[in-house]
Amino acid sequence: MKKSLLALAIMSTTSAYADEGMWMPQQLPQIAKQLKAAGLKLDPNSLTRLTEFPAGAIVSLGGCSASFVSPQGLVVTNHHCVYNSVAQASTPERDLLANGFVARSLGEELPAAPGTRVFVTKEVLNVTDKIITPEVAKLSGKARSDAIEKNQKTLVAACEADPGHRCTVPAFYGSLEFYQIKQLEIRDVRLVHVPPAGVGKFGGDTDNWMWPRHTGDYGFYRAYVSKDGKAADFSKDNVPYVPNHVLKLAKEGVKEGDFVMAMGYPGRTNRHRLPSEVQFTFDWFYPAFVKASADNLAIIDRETKGNKDVTLKYAGQVASINNYYKNRQGMIDSYATSDFLQRKTAEHEQLKKWINADTKRKAEFADDIDKVEHLIAERDAGVKRNFNYNYAEPRLLMGARTLYRLANENQKPDADRKSGYQVRDLSRLKANMAAMERTFDPKVDKALAMHHMKGYLAQPAAEQKQAFNTALGLRAGMSDAELSAALDKLYSGTKLTNAADRNAWLDKKPADFQGSDDAFIKAAVALYDADLKAEAEEEELAGKLQQAYGSYMKAKIAYMKSKGQAVYPDANSTLRVTYGNVAGRDHGADGSTWTAFTTVKGVLAKHTGTGEFDAPKAQLDAIKAKDFGKYVDPKLKTVPVNFLATLDITGGNSGSAALNAKGELVGLAFDGTLDSIISDWDFNKANTRDIQVDLRYMLWNMKHVDKADNLLKEMGAE
């Protein structure tokens, strides 16, 4: 195979910032000097072996990162990553969110939320030549998208012939490269331990993205498999999974200046975006998102007030909305006071100047650079036009559309079905339907839909979707009373609010849907043809954009290489390594200095006894009594809670293991600081800090407050 673009992108790294980059493990030997200079004691080559220590202990939860910390399949991650499972297991009579939970034995462990998974990576292969074949390279538009999807499905099917595994073929560098990733998909996951909300969510939304921080953001799952070691659905006969590798707990805590690295699955970054994408995102999309999030939070608060059961149902959604709401607003604020767009524009102009300075480069890249700008503008116009429409869709309609699409796709051979509707996807679809039982309420859903439908119906008629209006009985100019009546008719005319009825539709034929008088099922059937047409149009645009964007990235890699600079791919939910050091920073906004650590003294200082700052009495008593045991930091003279480091992380890194120079666990990454989260788009070496919960705080709380001695012994912490 010819040398990959990945190899070309990292051949020269002398100009890379020491702490910048969410590096693919296979890139690490290329930055070995930087890693060693920062303090790494392990051989950088050992970090590339994904099925060996330490990478073999790192797992994905499909949205968060986690790690094995015992030979009995014990998994540690963030409190907010297990939050939905805790919320769904809670009842007004047994509020595990408020009070926490410790399973003293395997038999006391609780099933995690439906659909919870632990993904253990087994193999990673470069399959670019099998995806972008010579035939595919000649195609454009939807034909190209379809051909790429077909090749991906072929590889996935062959990979998943090994039962119990989940395989994906994600794209890198603007779809210039593709890697096949094979993971064991552990489906029986159980909740083991989570501290009370007064620890795990201490500071709540007030402290979210802020420093100083005093949050014990940790929790534990356990992975279970069948007795023969295979992935299996939940069963009382299943046994704990025995991982090949587990992380060792550091005997000594970190101190300021120490090397640290995080291994995890960051979701998405946007550092290779064009200036027009930056401008659209920060001038229109993020402000619209923030407003919609604020509206949704207010509606959910209003509609759940006074009803503890419904409040618990929406607790996970509220936590998620709040997190992204504050994140996006923080990015908007940072952008407003920066020269990011000007710098991005200047860099893009320099790239075009470099391309046009050479006849060969101009012939290869110039047309695609112009084309990608036009295609991005077309895509962004669609995003703007459909924004209210996408928010307005009732959740039951979304479910009905999915069910009807599944029924139609089931009529085809599995290889010909749309991705997302193959046999491999059925367990996920079933889990989504089951999850509604503890995450949905018709009254709340109707209120959310009505609010956004009013915004949608206020748009010009040309921007509305006639098929959608007809199917739901909507029209421009409806009064609030008329719109409410139309929605009441839909909700009163459905049985999809019932779990058994929802599940029954998973096995129905298209004719069953077409003969149904269920209001939301009828709407889904009526919308089907329009949905397929819209999907085809989106895929035509996506295919053209993918091809042009790939050419843009190829040009950028070549340009950066000519300057001796590294180009790591944007994050895409695949395993990455980021490294740096424990470090505080000067906070320019108010002239203060942020120390690298917070301690339990801050918990006492912040505790109010109500709301977001309500630490458990047992913890407060232990702090006041200085009952710290062996978890005292020798310099701080008390127990550290959180620490700052110069790690380059983003969403999806939540729960990532923070490792010391020897690869031992010293904490869990869980957040960033508000003024540096724009690093998803624009990395700032001086400002960027991420926040970890210190392992010593976790272990102290488990030992001296929650009395989770069985788990401490299991992890070798006793």
> Collapsing DSSP states into helix, strand and coil, what is residue 615?
coil
- Distances, alpha carbon 20 to alpha carbons 13, 58, 496, 534, 683, in Å: 11, 21, 48, 39, 7
Would you say 231 and 164 are in contact if contact means Cβ atoms under 8 Å apart? yes
- pLDDT at 658 > cutoff 80: yes
Average pLDDT over residues 489-503: 95
Catalytic residue among 85, 276, 334, 654: 654
Would you say 186 and 132 are in contact if contact means Cβ atoms under 8 Å apart? no
Average pLDDT over residues 485-497: 97
Tell me how far apart the alpha carbons of residues 101 and 80 are, in angstroms, rounded to a whole number.
Answer: 14
**Could you report the per-residue pLDDT of 286-332, keeping only the tens digit for each?**
999 999 999 999 999 999 999 999 999 999 999 999 999 999 999 99
pLDDT of residue 310: 96
Of the pLDDT bands very low, low, confident and very high (cuts 50, 70, 90), residue 15 is very low
Residue for token pair 């049985």: 495
Residue 599 lies in a domain: no
pLDDT of residue 687: 86
pLDDT of residue 150: 97
Residue 660 lies in a domain: no
Which residues fall within 8 angstroms of residue 445, CB to CB, at 6 or more apart? 394, 395, 396, 491
Is the peptide bond prior to 212 cis by the omega test (within 30 degrees of 0)? yes
pLDDT of residue 366: 93
Q: How many domains does the chain have?
A: 1
Partnered with residue 594 across adjacent β-strands are 585
Range of the domain at 457: 275-559
pLDDT of residue 568: 85
Residue 348 lies in a domain: yes
pLDDT of residue 48: 87
- pLDDT at 343 > cutoff 90: yes
> How much of the chain, in percent, has pLDDT values that exceed 70?
97
Tell me how far apart the alpha carbons of residues 112 and 116 are, in angstroms, rounded to a whole number.
Answer: 6
Which residues fall within 8 angstroms of residue 165, CB to CB, at 6 or more apart? 122, 159, 182, 183, 184, 185, 231
pLDDT of residue 105: 97
Name which of 420, 386, 717, 358 is nearest 541 in CA terms: 386
Distant-in-sequence contacts of 674-677, Cβ < 8 A, 24+ apart: 674/209, 674/210, 674/326, 674/330, 674/333, 674/334, 675/330, 675/333, 675/334, 675/587, 675/589, 676/334, 677/209, 677/327, 677/330, 677/331, 677/334
- pLDDT at 586 > cutoff 90: no
- pLDDT at 90 > cutoff 90: yes
Catalytic residue among 207, 217, 441, 706: 217
Is the peptide bond prior to 54 cis by the omega test (within 30 degrees of 0)? yes
Confirm whether 145 is a catalytic residue.
Answer: no
Of the pLDDT bands very low, low, confident and very high (cuts 50, 70, 90), residue 686 is confident
Helices 359-392 and 519-562 pack at an angle, to 10 degrees, of: 150
Would you say 297 and 324 are in contact if contact means Cβ atoms under 8 Å apart? no
pLDDT of residue 27: 84
- pLDDT at 17 > cutoff 60: no
Catalytic residue among 79, 80, 165, 193: 80
The first and second tokens of residue 234, run together, are 């939940």
pLDDT of residue 4: 53
Residue for token pair 């709401």: 325
Q: Convert 108-141 to b/e letters by CB count within 10 Å (16 or more is b).
A: ebeebbbbbbbbbbbebebbbebbbeeebeebeb
The first and second tokens of residue 704, run together, are 């001296």
Of the pLDDT bands very low, low, confident and very high (cuts 50, 70, 90), residue 443 is very high
- pLDDT at 608 > cutoff 50: yes
Confirm whether 451 is a catalytic residue.
Answer: no
Of the pLDDT bands very low, low, confident and very high (cuts 50, 70, 90), residue 589 is low
Return the CA Rg of the chain.
Answer: 26
**Could you report the per-residue pLDDT of 362-389, keeping only the tens digit for each?**
999 999 999 999 999 999 999 999 999 9
Average pLDDT over residues 580-592: 82
Confirm whether 80 is a catalytic residue.
Answer: yes
Among 53-57, 276-280, 340-344, name the one with the lowest average pLDDT: 53-57
Residue 294 lies in a domain: yes
pLDDT of residue 18: 39
Average pLDDT, the chain: 94
- pLDDT at 102 > cutoff 50: yes
With residues binned 3-state (H G I as helix, E B as strand, rest as coil), the percentages for the chain, rounded to 5, are 50, 15, 35
**Could you report the per-residue pLDDT of 66-75, keeping only the tens digit for each?**
999 999 999 9
Please classify residue 191 by burial: count the beta carbons closer than 10 Å to its beta carbon, then call 0-12 exposed, 13-18 middle and 19+ buried: buried
Partnered with residue 657 across adjacent β-strands are 263, 668
Residue 533 lies in a domain: yes
Q: Convert 680-709 to b/e letters by CB count within 10 Å (16 or more is b).
A: bbbbeeebbbbbbbbbbbbbbbbbbbbebe
**Could you report the per-residue pLDDT of 111-134, keeping only the tens digit for each?**
999 999 999 999 999 999 999 999
pLDDT of residue 564: 83
Residue 366 lies in a domain: yes
Tell me how far apart the alpha carbons of residues 228 and 580 are, in angstroms, rounded to a whole number.
Answer: 41
Q: What angle do CA 431, 436, 437 make, to 5 degrees?
A: 105
The first and second tokens of residue 221, run together, are 């799952």
Would you say 69 and 656 are in contact if contact means Cβ atoms under 8 Å apart? no
Residue 642 lies in a domain: no
**Could you report the per-residue pLDDT of 207-225, keeping only the tens digit for each?**
999 999 999 999 999 999 9
Residue 306 lies in a domain: yes
Report residue 661: phi and psi, to 5°. -65, -20
* Top-confidence residue, 3 or 154: 154
Tell me how far apart the alpha carbons of residues 112 and 569 are, in angstroms, rounded to a whole number.
Answer: 33
- Distances, alpha carbon 177 to alpha carbons 129, 272, 298, 352, in Å: 9, 15, 43, 23
Tell me how far apart the alpha carbons of residues 317 and 300 are, in angstroms, rounded to a whole number.
Answer: 9
Dihedral (C-alpha) 651, 657, 659, 663: value to the nearest 10 degrees?
A: -130
Among 388-402, 565-579, 702-716, name the one with the lowest average pLDDT: 565-579
The helix (run of H) or strand (run of E) holding residue 562 is helix 519-562
The first and second tokens of residue 278, run together, are 């930056």
